[in-house]
Amino acid sequence: MEFLQFDSGLWQRVVSLFTYDPTSPLTLATGFFLFAFLVFALGYVIVKRRPNLRTWYITLFSLYFYYKLSGIYLLLLGGVALSDYIIGHRVAKRRERGLGTRGWVALSIAINVAILTYFKATGFFVDVLQNIYKDGLLNFEGVAVPAGVSFFVFQSIAYVVDISRGTIKPLRRFMDYLFLLSFFPKMFLGPLVKAKDFIPQIEAREVNVSRDDFGRAVTLIAGGLIKYAVIASALGALFVNPAFKGELGDSGVVALLAIYGFTLQIYCDFSGYSDIAVGVALMMGFRLPDNFDAPYKSATITEFWRRWHISLSTWLKDYLYIALGGNRRGAFRTYINLFLTMVLGGLWHGVSICYMAWGVLHGLALALHKIWLRINPWAKKRGEEMHPIVRFGATLITLHLVAFGWLLFASAQQAPKMGVEDFDLCLDMINRIATNFRAEDIIPSIEASGVAMVIMYIGYVLHFLPKSFNGAVQRMVTRSGFIGQWILIVAVVWIVMQCSAMLVAETGVAAGLPMYADY
Amino acid sequence: MKNTNANIRIAGFTLAVILGMVGLGFVPPFKMFGMEFESVDILSTLRAEDSMAEAMEDHTADFDLLDMQLAAAEVIDTLPEPIPVRYEWVVEHTANERRQKLRSEDMIPALQQYVYFEDFDTLATTRFDNFIAKLADGQSVRIAFMGDSFVEGDIVTCDLRDKLQRRFGGRGAGFIPSDIPFSTVRKTIKRTSSNWKTYSVMKSKDAPETIRERLFISGYLAEGGAGATTRWQSVGAYPTLDSCTQARILLISRDTSRVEVLLGDSLRKEFTIAGDERVREIHIEGPVDDIRLRVVDGSVMCYGASLEGRGGVTVDNFSVRSNNGHAIFGTSATVNRQIDEFLGYDLVVLQYGLNIMQQGQRGYSKYRDQVRDMIAYAERCFPNAAILVMGVSDRWVKNAETNAYEPIGSVDALTSFQRAAADSCNVVFWETARVMQNHGGMPAFVSNGWAAKDYTHINYAGGKRIATALTDAICYRVFTHLFEREEAARIEAERQAELERQRELEAKELLESQINAVAPIIDSIGWSDKANNRDNNEE
């Protein structure tokens, strides 16, 4: 009897390993992925040269990956793919006949925006209603947001709009489109791919991975893991989260350091995960666009948005800013459009005051910078064109503007966990810095969080190293061959596992999803 | 050629990385730069974790459900009652055990090293004070001791019960489930059962919904048709265990069923239980030291029986193996509340944490939040009971290299998180590990034969030490309660006496002043004694 029970328990465990478990979603940085990827890679060797089979193979694996990540929402992904696949063909047909496509494009956008709004804003509206009517009227649970919903919805909108603009032709088979949307490395957190860049890769007869590509992939994955699973996790768990919660005291020094910490954490978390995604895709022979380019090196806010979450800012530019009229309706409308784009971009992160304030801040900054560029013909758009001293000053100012933006962002992120209003938390942090900042606190505060401070220091130093350094590392990794790359990845995975074990020991909470997973 | 290499490389590389990680798994733990590096186990990510963390996901606090269940309990209570909830069988009427009122000198502290209760009741809900007051007044008191394998088999609780019953009265082993899905040894009761299908809250996934929705904090529910039977027999392991005078059998009979109850070999009574969703009690007064329940017809779900005296202290041991306390979220608040209506708990003890502890782990904030939920849950299910959170016990683990045992290094940390939970919920906390450390810690327990060689589980002898200390802590509170009350009474009596004296004095003065006032008049009239005397003299 005992034995039988154990046996059924074992079977249940095996089943549960392969079924969706909301408490341990599959990401690219988990051990389970390593094994799943091995199984995938063994079959991939065979299907690599047969485009049809390859598409099916990768798509099925991607769908399974999404199922492990988000469970039943797999159907939502499939639904979006199907509806926009059909609409895409309708739009193309009408275009060929010279008919208007607006109606169909509007339908696609309406469906996608409705999905996005439902998952993003329901919680907010329920809150509002409940505040008005107090409890009792509505008994509504929060809506769990499907992983990566924004990313596939955005790409799906882009696909239909591109067809209507005539820049691409619709994909012939549904499976190809499903593949485009669900391709597992980028599905969760991007980078957003443009159909125009990706379709040729789907249709390519054979995908090839050169030595250089493989070296670059290994470098990206190793660097991404360090950024995502070591620097960001440790900084967040050891310093940023407790500092925001006030567990490290109410010193202004700690509050300021927490903002610098969050600034580094959110970059490492997001760009690290993106790098892993790009690296994994590259190993399979698919090229995804770069998503980050050392954003804090930017000397102006305009430059920042060309280096931060590049695929999203490009998307916003192509499909929101241009749809609003872009710069074709005079200078004033350009500024307004820029501003509106950023505010909507802010609201997309979540319906709350701080996210909106974040969007307003960036929108204002971008618009003002554009005006500045217009008034001063000598002003430069990018740091590289500036005098080194000017560049240094400008970079410092830009970094602090962005960091202030991240304070708003972090407040919006942390406040719900603490059960306070996000705006109050933000004001509280500012208040701490403004009224309780004492020079004599600096050294003790740094000493008290020694490990986190060392990590932060290393993180910033690595970030500000010249680009040629990255190139040199990549070349070295490429040249080191199979053995060298193997040693590198094994060492990095070992460090990641040690780090996560230590963090669990320190805080009792296992690392969760990437920070950007909610958006 | 080059391309083929590139094609295979992706699979080869992934395989090599996995093999490399498996190889690194053989590197033993080491220390460097003051940091501890563990052995990594990449394969562990494949083993679906049967870790505590995952097991705890089976039951999570759902306070909305709790509200609904409690509301259900209320609604049922207010219904007109065509169907009885209580079936009585009075074989011989026994009067409620009445104790003499205790005085503080009965409670003079005995032990040198006290581990006191840390009472965080800053909201003055006085739930714990009420519990202590009831003990002091000799009223009947019922304790639910919820725990894990640490108290399985009535360890700790048997001595706690014994000591409390000797001091404050009461008899019997308390609640005993009608069946448990595995064999255990419990020295305070003899239970034999057959033909039940029994489910545990820890595996409630395997249980049908009818069972899952009706679990009590005992953690076990047995379902049986005609022929299912359980026999509970008191044993004489402690002097207060036998000669029980009252028994309660708790069961649900959704459709009408017939059960028979036998006391000893001669007394028999059959009950027809009308079908209803509520928990029902068969209440028996008489000689209940050997009691048998048999389902004659139909089907019942039986929680268990309680053997007890009328009045005094009753301690129910609710131990559920590898429960971290989270299993309470898998029990039905409706059932908990209905059974509480019958039994009336005054104290709920939460003794957990042994299974959650990880070597060297110092952060338990997630568990702290769960303990808070447990407390809130228990408070809602048992509205009149005080909650006592017991800290985790001492535990040592074997060092793989030296083969020697060393402290697990996280007892203090977990204790402080449990204390924090009690603090924020305004309930009482008691540091179990301190008691063990006062005795020399786990090594002393093992060398004295008070604990198993696993340096984790104590035995009955070890439990006795903890029960003694816990009783002392309770008695100390009763002592201070009585002492304060006696002091207050003494002061009040003195104040009253003083007032009385004052009043007498004032009355006297008033009288005298009145006498002084009227004296001259009386004199002048010549009615006074003096005047009379003078008159007499003159005659």
pLDDT of residue A121: 75
Q: How confident is the model at residue A142 (pLDDT cuts 50, 70, 90)?
A: low
B489 vs B486: CA distance, rounded Å: 5
Residue B315 maps to which CATH number? 3.40.50.1110
Residue B27 pLDDT > 50? yes
B235 vs B244: CA distance, rounded Å: 11
The three-state secondary structure class of B246 is strand
Structural domain boundaries of chain A?
25-203, 211-507
Q: Say which of B38, B46, B362 has its CB closest to residue A498.
A: B38
Q: How far is B165 from chain A (nearest CA, A)?
A: 38
Is A89 part of the annotated catalytic residue set? no
Range name among A166-170, A434-438, B102-106 with the lowest pLDDT average: B102-106
As for the ipTM of the complex, it is 0.82
Do the Cβ atoms of B169 and B310 come closer than 8 Å?
no
Q: pLDDT digit string (tens) for A241-298?
A: 888 877 777 788 889 999 999 999 999 999 999 999 999 999 988 999 989 999 999 9
Q: pLDDT digit string (tens) for B446-478?
A: 888 888 888 888 888 899 999 999 998 998 888
A291 vs A308: CA distance, rounded Å: 7
More confidently predicted of A24 and A150: A150
Q: Say which of A24, A485, A505 has its CB closest to residue B361.
A: A505
Range name among A348-362, A407-421, B141-155, B342-356 with the lowest pLDDT average: A407-421
| Structural domain contains residue B390 | yes
More confidently predicted of B501 and B536: B501
Give the nearest chain A residue to B57 (CA atoms).
Answer: A23
Structure-block tokens of residue A58: 């990768």
Residue B110 pLDDT > 70? no
Structure-block tokens of residue B271: 């009950």
Q: Which amino acid is at A379?
A: A
Q: How confident is the model at residue A13 (pLDDT cuts 50, 70, 90)?
A: low
Whether chain B has a CB inside 8 Å of the CB on A138: the answer is no
- Cβ–Cβ contacts within 10 Å for residue B536, how many? 8
Whether chain B has a CB inside 8 Å of the CB on A483: the answer is no
State the average pLDDT for chain A. 85
Structure-block tokens of residue A365: 């900054």
Q: Which amino acid is at B368?
A: R
Phi/psi at B40 (5° precision): -90, 150
pLDDT of residue A440: 82
Range name among A128-132, A446-450, B275-279 with the lowest pLDDT average: A128-132
Q: For chain B, how many structural domains are there in total?
A: 1
| Structural domain contains residue B37 | no
pLDDT of residue A7: 44
pLDDT of residue B527: 62
Q: How confident is the model at residue B2 (pLDDT cuts 50, 70, 90)?
A: very low
pLDDT of residue A6: 43
- Portion 55-74 of B in contact with A at CB < 8 A: 57, 64
pLDDT of residue A498: 87
The three-state secondary structure class of B186 is coil
pLDDT of residue B535: 53
Q: How confident is the model at residue B539 (pLDDT cuts 50, 70, 90)?
A: very low
| Structural domain contains residue B354 | yes
A242 vs A263: CA distance, rounded Å: 15
Q: How far is A253 from chain B (nearest CA, A)?
A: 25
A482/B13 Cβ within 8 A: yes
| Structural domain contains residue B496 | no
Q: Say which of B9, B18, B53 has its CB closest to residue A34.
A: B18
On chain A, the residues whose CB falls within 8 A of the CB of B362 are 505-506, 508
Give the nearest chain B residue to A17 (CA atoms).
Answer: B48
What would the mean pLDDT of B494-519 be, rounded to a whole number? 93
Q: How far is B459 from chain A (nearest CA, A)?
A: 24
Residue B274, classified by CB atoms within 10 Å of its CB into exposed (0-12), middle (13-18) or buried (19+), is middle
Do the Cβ atoms of B258 and B273 come closer than 8 Å?
yes
Whether chain B has a CB inside 8 Å of the CB on A11: the answer is no
Q: How confident is the model at residue B94 (pLDDT cuts 50, 70, 90)?
A: confident
Whether chain B has a CB inside 8 Å of the CB on A504: the answer is yes
pLDDT of residue A1: 35
Residue B1 pLDDT > 50? no
Q: Which residues contact residue A183 at a Cβ distance below 8 angstroms, ignoring those fewer than 6 apart?
A: A58, A62, A193, A198, A281, A286
Give the nearest chain A residue to B362 (CA atoms).
Answer: A506
pLDDT of residue B304: 94
Q: Say which of B24, B44, B46 has its CB closest to residue A494.
A: B24
Residue B491, classified by CB atoms within 10 Å of its CB into exposed (0-12), middle (13-18) or buried (19+), is exposed
């290094």: which residue's tokens?
B409
B8/A506 Cβ within 8 A: no
Q: How far is B352 from chain A (nearest CA, A)?
A: 17
Sheet containing B386-390, strands listed edge to edge, beginning at the edge strand earlier in sequence? B118-119, B428-430, B386-390, B347-351, B141-147, B313-319
Q: Where are the alpha helices (DSSP H) in A327-421?
A: 330-348, 353-375, 388-418
Residue B226 pLDDT > 50? yes
Residue A507 pLDDT > 90? no
- Quote the domain boundaries for residue B225: 83-491
What is the reported pTM?
0.66
A31/B13 Cβ within 8 A: no
Mutate to test the interface with A, among B45, B62, B63, B184 (most CBs of A within 10 A): B45
């209940």: which residue's tokens?
B288
Range name among A152-156, A481-485, B34-38, B214-218 with the lowest pLDDT average: B34-38
| Structural domain contains residue B233 | yes
Q: How far is A489 from chain B (nearest CA, A)?
A: 7
For the CA atoms of chain A, what is the radius of gyration? 24
A434 vs A428: CA distance, rounded Å: 10
3-state secondary structure A64-120: HHHHHHHHHHHHHHHHHHHHHHHHHHHHHHHHHCCCCCHHHHHHHHHHHHHHHHHHH
- Cβ–Cβ contacts within 10 Å for residue A470, how many? 15
Range name among A36-45, A243-252, B125-134, B302-311 with the lowest pLDDT average: A243-252
Q: Left (φ > 0), alpha (ψ -120 to 50) or beta: where does B30 sit?
A: beta
For the CA atoms of chain B, what is the radius of gyration? 32
Q: Which amino acid is at B151?
A: V
* Residue among A496, A28, A514 nearest A282 (CA): A28
Residue A5 pLDDT > 50? no
B100 vs B137: CA distance, rounded Å: 8
More confidently predicted of B160 and A150: B160
On chain B, the residues whose CB falls within 8 A of the CB of A508 are 361-367
- Portion 362-391 of B in contact with A at CB < 8 A: 362-367
The three-state secondary structure class of A198 is helix
What would the mean pLDDT of B271-284 be, rounded to a whole number? 90
pLDDT of residue B374: 92
Whether chain B has a CB inside 8 Å of the CB on A205: the answer is no
What would the mean pLDDT of A106-118 be, rounded to a whole number? 90
B76 vs B395: CA distance, rounded Å: 46
Q: pLDDT digit string (tens) for A285-341?
A: 899 998 999 999 999 999 999 999 999 888 988 888 888 887 788 888 888 888 988
| Structural domain contains residue B307 | yes
What would the mean pLDDT of B157-176 be, rounded to a whole number? 91
Percent pLDDT > 70 in chain A is 90
Do the Cβ atoms of B397 and B408 come closer than 8 Å?
yes
State the average pLDDT for chain B. 85
Do the Cβ atoms of A152 and A182 come closer than 8 Å?
yes
